[in-house]
Amino acid sequence: MPGLPRTLPASFYLAARPAWWGRLPFPAVGPDVTGGRGPGGHAYGNPAEACYTKVMVGSDGGGGSPLPFNAKRCYGPGK
């Protein structure tokens, strides 16, 4: 419709990258996201995935025994 703004925010949930998100690209998923590892480059990982793969050293697909979780190691300052 004429006169209506066409620019949408990157996230309808949050106005900007939250501090707990860390250094990962934000938003992580969307049609305007480019360069990601997900389908068509439109998706990056999120903090939970980064914790699982990098801190807990989990495997793709989740095979194996349960892994120990420590929130301070995954989501502490500077993550």
Task: Reply yes or no on whether the pLDDT at 11 is more than 80.
Answer: no
Domain ranges of the chain: 22-75
Residue given tokens 């389908």 in the structure block: 39
Residue 77's pLDDT band (cuts 50, 70, 90) = low
Q: Which of 51, 53, 54 has its CA nearest to residue 71?
A: 51
* Rounded distance between C-alpha atoms, residue 60 and residue 39, angstroms: 16
> Rounded to an integer, what is the distance from CA 22 to the centroid of its chain?
9
Task: Give mean pLDDT, residues 6-27.
Answer: 82
Q: Of 58 and 6, which is predicted with more confidence?
A: 58
* Residues 31-66: tens digit of each pLDDT: 889 999 889 999 999 999 999 999 999 988 888 889
pLDDT score, position 25 = 92
Instruction: Give the separation between CA 34 and CA 37, rounded to whole angstroms.
Output: 9
Cα distance between residue 19 and residue 21, in whole Å: 5
Task: Look at residue 8 and tell me whether its pLDDT is greater than 80.
Answer: no
